[in-house]
Each structure stands twice: as C-alpha cells, then as structure tokens.
Structure 1
Amino acid sequence: MFDVDREAITDGPVGRVLVLLAAPLVAQNLVYVANALVDTFWLGRVSEDAVAAVGLSLPIQSLLGATVVVAAVGTQILVAQRAGGEDDAGARRVAVNGALLALAVTGAIAIPVVAYAEGLVRLLGADPALAGTTATYLAIIVAVLPFGAVSDTVENCFTAYGDTRAVLHVSLTSVLVNLVAAPVLIFGVGPVPALGVAGAALGTVIAGVVGLAHVLAYAAGIGRDTFRLTREAFAVDRSVVREIADVGLPLGGQRGVSELVRVLVVGLVTIAGGSAGIAAYTVGARVSTLAIVPALGMQQAIQSMIGQNLGANAPRRARRTTVVGTGIVVTGFLALGAVQFVFAGAIADFLAPDLTAAGRSLSVLYLRILAVTYWALGGTYTLLAGFNGASRTRTSFVADLVKYWAIRFPIAIAAVPAAATFGAFGVAVTPGLGWGVEAAFWAVAVSNVVGFLGLGAYFAYTTRRGMFSNAAERAVEGESADPTDG
C-alpha cells in the first residue's frame, strides 16, 4: 500500500507521494516515541521523583543525540542524491562509511559520559538523591549509544531509497520488546528483581539492541531487497567520510546548540519550579515529542524526495516538495494543537496520575502553552528539510542558534528569582525577574513562532536566488556541499 518507486518520487503527484513516503515514517516515529513514553507511563506509577529523574536526563540524552545526527542525516541526504542519480554502488559506499563514522564518533563521546554521569547530572543542580537515580538511568542508556547510532544510520538509508516501511518494521519490533521488558524490570516479576528507574533504562537498551539486529538483517538482504549492503561496499573511503561530515556536522551543531539550551532551561526550571516544575516539564516534553512525530516523518520524507529529485536534476520539483509538505503539516498541526488544548488535563492524568496538585496544574498549563504553537513547530521541521535536502545544512545550524540562544534562553532566564545562582554549570544569572517557572514555558512557545516566521522568510529569499537549481547542478556533478552556504 505504501510502496513508492523511484519513478514516482521524481515524477508522481508531489502531495500523494509525500504522504505515502511519510506515513510509515510517522508510524515509525510514533512507535519510537511510544517506546520513550513507556518509561514515563510506568514510572509515573512509582513516584513523582522517578518521573523527574528521567526528565532530568532527557536534555543530556538529546544533547548527545547531536553526535548521532552527524552521520545518520548526512548519510541519508547523500544516499538519496546518489539513488536519484542511479548510483547504487556509490549509495552503498556512503552507507557503510556513514555507519562507521556513527560508531566512531558516538563511541568517543559515550565512554566519558558513562564514567562521569553523576557529575554531569549534579551540574544541572539536582539534589543528591535525585542525582544518583538520574545518573544510573543516564549511564545505562548512553552505554549503548554507539549501537543506536549505527541503527539510525542504516535505517536512514532505507528511507533515502523510499522504503520507509522497513524502518517502521524495525521500530515495531523494538517497542514490542520494550512494552514487555519495561514493566517486568521496573516492578519485578518472578525471579526478576524490581529495579525501578534502572529497569526502565535496561528495557530501553534491550529494545534498541533488538532493533539494531533487525535492521542489519534487512541490510543483509534477509526479508528485504530495496536497499542492500554488498561485500564490495565494506571499505573505508576517507573522501566519502569527509563528504558525510561536511553535510552532517552543521546538523549536529544545530542539534547541539538547541539541546544545550534545553539543558540550561531544565536547570532554570529546577530552580524556579522544583520537583513539580521538572515533572511538568517532563510531561510536556514527552507529549510534544509525540506531537511532532508527523512533522518528523514529513521532514524525513521531504529530505529523501528532494535528494532524489536533485540527483535527477529536477530543482522545481524539489522546491514544490518543501512547500507542499509545509502546508500539509501546518494545517494538520493547527488541529492537533486544538485537541491538546482541550484535553490537557486528561493527558497529564494519563501519563502521570500520581503528580502532586502543583505538578498537575503546571503540567496542564505547559501542555496548553505548547498546543497553541504546534503549527509553527511542525512547519519549522519541514522548512528545514528543504534546506537540508539541498545540502544547505549550515542554514539549519544558524536558524537554531538564533531561535534557542537569542530568543528562548533569554526569556527563560526571567523565570528565576532576581540575582539567583543558576544551578546548571554554576552560571550566575543576574538579574532574574522572578516570573516563575511559567516564564520558561512561554519561552518555548515564543521561540517556536518567531523561529518559523523568520525561517519562512529566508526560505522565500533563497529560493528566489536559485537555491534548488544550484543544488541540482552540484548533485549532478557529484558534489554535495556548497562552500558559499552560510
């Protein structure tokens, strides 16, 4: 039903092809987020501190995710361009070197993070009891980060070829494993002891390892034939590694600058709102992660479709792909936000029924604040896909630098009391305005809207100046990076 061949990607109806490509990716991302929500769902039945412990680790995990993006998304963009030009051997070579780059980069980061997990958590200002629990969860998750990076990179190669169902199959396998493993390990069943927060992390790890085995089996040709790694592709090619890094590093930087701000905002929320504030922020972060899944799926579909069309020298179709995809997402997210606004209380009660009254009140407020800006958040992902697909990944970096550092963080500082000492990294904040934790919530909303409007204006400007035409010329010539892009 959702099969899309290369001819349709470069010549079929744009809206229909995008939906067909994105649908399995949306489902896959829903499964992925559901996998993450499993922890919050079960730990919400343990205690508010258990939910807060996981929430405190999320920004650090996301910051580390910037290293995964470098290889995973850089590989996807280049594989799509080679697939569009019918260079299958080149696509396989990119895939292998992308996976090796993912393993090397994330391995170098994971080792020190695992060794100093508790110290990192304490820098966020957590109290000693919460820091110990959070560090245990973080260390277990990060220990297998390199395997997850390889899995993501190989999955993105299937996406680049238009086989988005393969990625969905892998994610379904992972979440089914975690649905069983998480409650067993958290609460204990039979001979298995109750491990609490550590059990939640172990369930996630087991699910990830199973997912990696599944996607590697597909890449070996077991049960799938759309994208296959051959023995000839297994050779280190430094020029290909550099090419992947040229495209991927700005995206990793983009992810890094945004996630670092999220880490700092968590520190501000800890000071201004305590455990109730952190629990509310965690609930909001988990739900918004679920809410943006359609935009993430569309973003991945747009990047692959643009890459193949540029490889086929069809720049106008590449531009139309971005415009149509953005229109679909903005319209859908207006409706999604309305639903969340109305049912915010029910959502908070479902995810964390044991919240205190203060925690629940703040959770409902944050969910409603997020809901009114979902359209802008979703549209940002699809506009960035247009730049990324054209290999203008530095634009994504600059856009997030402005959105998070020039808009979100300065507003969030207003949450803390005047002359307070900011717990994250011991940075002194002088002066805060004492507006309370709600200011941190509004900082997220304002930055989402301003970021989308600014990026939309820049997209219109660059397309008038021939962004996609230039990118098509480079793709046809075998080049992937624009040295003048900034």
Structure 2
Amino acid sequence: MEENKMGSMKINKLIMTMSLPIIISMLVQALYNIVDSMFVARVSEAALTAVSLCYPIQMILVAVACGTGVGINALLSRNLGLRKQKNAEQVALHGLMLAGVNGLVFALIGVLFSKQFLQLFTTDPEILSMGISYMQICTIFSIGVFVQITYERIMQSTGNTVYNMIIQGVGALVNIILDPIFIFGYFGLPAMGVTGAAVATVIGQLIAMVLGIVITKYKIKLIQVHIREFKFDLGLVRNIYKIAIPAILMQSIMSFMTVFMNVILVQFSTLAVSVFSIYYKLQQFVFMAVAGITNAIIPIVSFNFGAKNKKRIIETINFSLVFATIIMLAGTIVFQLFPEQLLYLFDAKEDMLAIGVPALRIISFSFLFAGVSMILCSVFQALDHGKNSLIITLLRQMILLVPCTYILAHQFGLNVSWISFPITEGICCVLSLYYLRKVKKETINNLDKEEALLNL
C-alpha cells in the first residue's frame, strides 16, 4: 500500500504543496466568474439581470456541494489515518451517492420552482424567460458540480491537490471557450444568449466531472472506488453531515449577509451598494488564497487526528496561521496603498471614489483577524468541533456584522459604518483563539494518552 504523505511529509512542505494548487484553481474560478459576466452583459442589461437573479441559487448549490465535500474529506482522511481502508472507501462511495441525491434535489427545485423564485424579484417577462431557462439548465444538470467536487475531495484526502487544479482549470477553460460560441452563435451555431451561457456552464462542469472520475480511477491509488462494494450505512451519512452541515451553513450565510447589507446600504445610495459589491469581488482574491490553505489543512488535520499524531496537528495549525497572516498582511497593504487603482478596474468615477477609497482602506484592517478565524474554523471542523466553526461564522457574517453596520451607519454615517468589519473580525478572532485553547485541552492534548493506551 502506498504511504499517505499526510502522515510523513514535512508539514511546511506538505501545506505548501497541497494548498498552492487549490489556491490557483480558486483564482481561476474567480477570474472565470468575471469573464462569464462580461460575456452575458454584452447580450443586454436584462440578460445580466436574469443571470444575477439566479446567483443566490447557484451559491446555495455550490455551498451544499462544497459543504458535503468537507464532511467527506474529513471523514475519509480520518479513516486513512486510522488505516481503515475499507471504511475510507465506503466514505467515498457514500459521498458519490450523496452527490447523486443532491443533484436530483436541485434538479427538482429547478423544474418546479424556478419561475416562483424569480417572480420574487421581477415581473419583467423578458427577464423571467431568460432567468427560468438559465436556472433550469444549471440545476437539472447540477450532477456535474456535485460529482466533480466529490472527486476533488477524494483527491484532497490523499494529498493529491494538483489534480484539483487541473480539473477546475479544464472545466473553467471549456466554459470560457464555449461561452461566446453559444451565446453569440459562432461557427454556424444559433445565438442562444443566456441559454447558451447556461449550456456552456454545464458542459464545462460535466467535462470536469468525467476528468475527475478518470483521474481517480487511474492516478489515485490510495482510494479505489468500486460501486459494486457500496453498502448503505445511515450512520455514516449522519457522520458526514455532522461535519458537513456547519460547512454548508457557513457558505450559505454569505448570500444572506449580502442581501441584508444591501438593504442597509441602499438607504444611502445605490452607489454604496455598488462599492460593497466591488469590495466583495476584490477581497475574493485575498480570501480565496486563505481558503486554499483551509481546504488543504482539513485532510491533513483529519488524517493526523485519526493517526493520534498530536505533534503534526500542532505544527499544521501553527504554520497555517503564519501562512494565512502573511497573505492577509499583503492584501491589507495592497488595499491601503492602491484603493483608487483597484476601483479604477471597475471604471470608478469621483463619486464612487469618495465612498470606495475609505471603504476599502477601513475594511482591509479586518483581513488579519479574518485569516486567523478562517484557519481555526477549518481546524475545528477537522477535529469534530464543527459547532465552534458555525458559531464563529454566524457571528462574522450575520449576528455581529449586520447589526453593527446598521447601528454605525445610522448613528455616524456611511463612512464610519465600514468600521463594523474590523470590529466584528477582531471579536471573532479572539473567540476563535479561545475555542482553540479549549479544543487543545479537550481533544488535541488527549491524543498522547490515547496513543499510549493503543501501544499497551
């Protein structure tokens, strides 16, 4: 049996080699989202609005896929650390089963509720027609997303993150190439507009899914997936979602937070909403780098948790915190020194600069605190303390941030309201460190005792 490098490779090198491909693939996805919107915007303003209205459903779909993937990843890595090969393979098989079920659920949602959902926001028949077409195609064929992400998590659990980069990169590249062909009707094809954008999206996802299946079959030797060996275990499904549900909620909360923040900001001006939207797109390039680290350390911590290796868990936590802090510090410096240049990327005029420059500078002070919370939330998930992650994320995205923004905005004005971000992240950083101290005492420090008992 091939040795799993998560139990042997030097931690610093392991985290770097695992996280960098994930970071690159996430940045590719971020760039793709921008390019995709640019193509749709060239069709018409109504087309861009139709796609934008479907975005919350797409965010929730990805949240369910990635959150379920976190549960699969952590449980699979832990069983590999315990050298329970059959159990690990059953986790992978149950992950694929859940991918199929989730794909079916979202397909039904798309078929039955697309019109009702879009009618919550618009009555324009043109926007409704395009939005329904886009949403139904993306949800009916969402099996591609769910299976692709499941295979990515199987690869991550064995330390093979370079393949993730390849899968996501190929999927995004196919999408970008097909977008103009299907949207505008090149090479003799009819111009399909928004429908074409949806078709290009699902083709890219399905190709990525097939690539994931092939790579896992021929390149991932630590896990062999054979459907005929599947044995349904409700307890295993519960264990996957015990870890997955907090992760799903954490990723879903962002979409709700954006809605509430827009409600607060629109009272000042639509320009304030635009500035927040621009900030959100810009900060993705900083936060996604740290998210790449969190994706890498979940299987590392889970594997060594299963292997009762306290030393490697502590080393992983310490190096990840340093790595994330360096990235967030770099992001803060860029936002402090070049806010105007960042806003010019979105054709900002004087009125937008007046709001945007102080907003970017003030909010970026929160980055260092946020990096600590993000890393520790992933550690808590890997160590079966998902409740801590959920609490911190709820505080960061909703419970503290939204009321704090509302109070500051109404008492002191728009520019002061941005201080809610560093205040919220600072409080959550302190709470994360407090939870880490508790987790060390209750879980990590006991691993030495458990290992000693096993060696008796």
Is contact 1:55-1:278 (8 Å) kept?
no
Corresponding position of 1:395: 388
Alpha-carbon deviations, 1:210-261, whole Å to 9, x = none?
111110112232x554533134533323232222122222322333344433
Is contact 2:286-2:327 (8 Å) kept?
no
Instruction: Please report the TM-score for the alignment, with normalisation by the length of structure 1.
Output: 0.80
Give the letter aligned to residue 260 of structure 2. Answer: L
Q: CA deviation at 1:197?
A: 4.4
Alpha-carbon distance between aligned partners in 2 of 1:477 and 1:242, rounded to the nearest angstrom: 28
Is contact 2:36-2:179 (8 Å) kept?
yes
Between stretches 71-80 and 377-386, larger displacement belongs to 377-386
Going from structure 1 to structure 2, the CA distance change for 1:254 and 1:160 (only over 3 Å counts) comes to same
Alpha-carbon distance between aligned partners in 1 of 2:362 and 2:333, rounded to the nearest angstrom: 11
Corresponding position of 2:322: 327
Corresponding position of 2:35: 38
Indicate yes or no: 2:32 matched with 1:24: no
Q: CA deviation at 1:468?
A: 1.9
Question: How much identity, in percent, do the aligned residues show?
Answer: 19
Alpha-carbon deviations, 1:410-438, whole Å to 9, x = none?
1344598xxxxxxxxxxxxxxx66945x6
RMSD: 3.5
| Counterpart secondary structure, 2:400 | helix
Going from structure 1 to structure 2, the CA distance change for 1:203 and 1:46 (only over 3 Å counts) comes to same
Is contact 2:308-2:450 (8 Å) kept?
no
Alpha-carbon distance between aligned partners in 1 of 2:169 and 2:429, rounded to the nearest angstrom: 32
| Counterpart secondary structure, 1:229 | coil
Is contact 1:258-1:400 (8 Å) kept?
no
Corresponding position of 2:246: 250
Between stretches 25-34 and 281-290, larger displacement belongs to 281-290
Q: CA deviation at 1:267?
A: 4.3
Q: CA deviation at 1:301?
A: 1.3
Going from structure 1 to structure 2, the CA distance change for 1:203 and 1:278 (only over 3 Å counts) comes to farther
Alpha-carbon distance between aligned partners in 1 of 2:362 and 2:450, rounded to the nearest angstrom: 42
Structure 2's unaligned 5+ residue stretches are none
Alpha-carbon distance between aligned partners in 1 of 2:412 and 2:195, rounded to the nearest angstrom: 36
Corresponding position of 2:378: 385
Q: Within 5 A, what are the aligned runs for 1:153-302?
A: 153-221=150-218, 223-269=219-265, 272-274=268-270, 276-302=271-297
Give the letter aligned to residue 382 of structure 2. Answer: G
Structure 1's unaligned 5+ residue stretches are 417-431, 479-486
Corresponding position of 2:424: 447
Give the letter aligned to residue 370 of structure 2. Answer: L
Alpha-carbon distance between aligned partners in 1 of 2:355 and 2:391, rounded to the nearest angstrom: 32
Alpha-carbon distance between aligned partners in 2 of 1:475 and 1:42, rounded to the nearest angstrom: 57
| Counterpart secondary structure, 1:220 | helix
Q: CA deviation at 1:96?
A: 1.0
Corresponding position of 1:467: 443
**Equivalent residues, number:** 452
Greater share of helix: 2
Between stretches 263-272 and 310-319, larger displacement belongs to 263-272
Indicate yes or no: 2:397 matched with 1:404: yes
| Counterpart secondary structure, 1:189 | coil
Between stretches 331-340 and 198-207, larger displacement belongs to 198-207
Alpha-carbon deviations, 1:380-427, whole Å to 9, x = none?
2211111111121111112122223321221344598xxxxxxxxxxx
Alpha-carbon distance between aligned partners in 2 of 1:218 and 1:457, rounded to the nearest angstrom: 41
Is contact 1:344-1:364 (8 Å) kept?
yes
Is contact 2:142-2:202 (8 Å) kept?
no
Alpha-carbon deviations, 1:300-339, whole Å to 9, x = none?
1111111111121112321221121011111221112322
Give the letter aligned to residue 299 of structure 1. Answer: T
Alpha-carbon distance between aligned partners in 2 of 1:285 and 1:148, rounded to the nearest angstrom: 23
Corresponding position of 1:424: none
Give the letter aligned to residue 404 of structure 1. Answer: Q
Q: CA deviation at 1:460?
A: 2.4
| Counterpart secondary structure, 2:284 | helix
Going from structure 1 to structure 2, the CA distance change for 1:199 and 1:374 (only over 3 Å counts) comes to farther
Between stretches 62-71 and 384-393, larger displacement belongs to 62-71
Is contact 2:21-2:162 (8 Å) kept?
yes
| Counterpart secondary structure, 2:34 | helix
Alpha-carbon deviations, 1:431-484, whole Å to 9, x = none?
x66945x67755455433432232123212332x23224578899999xxxxxx
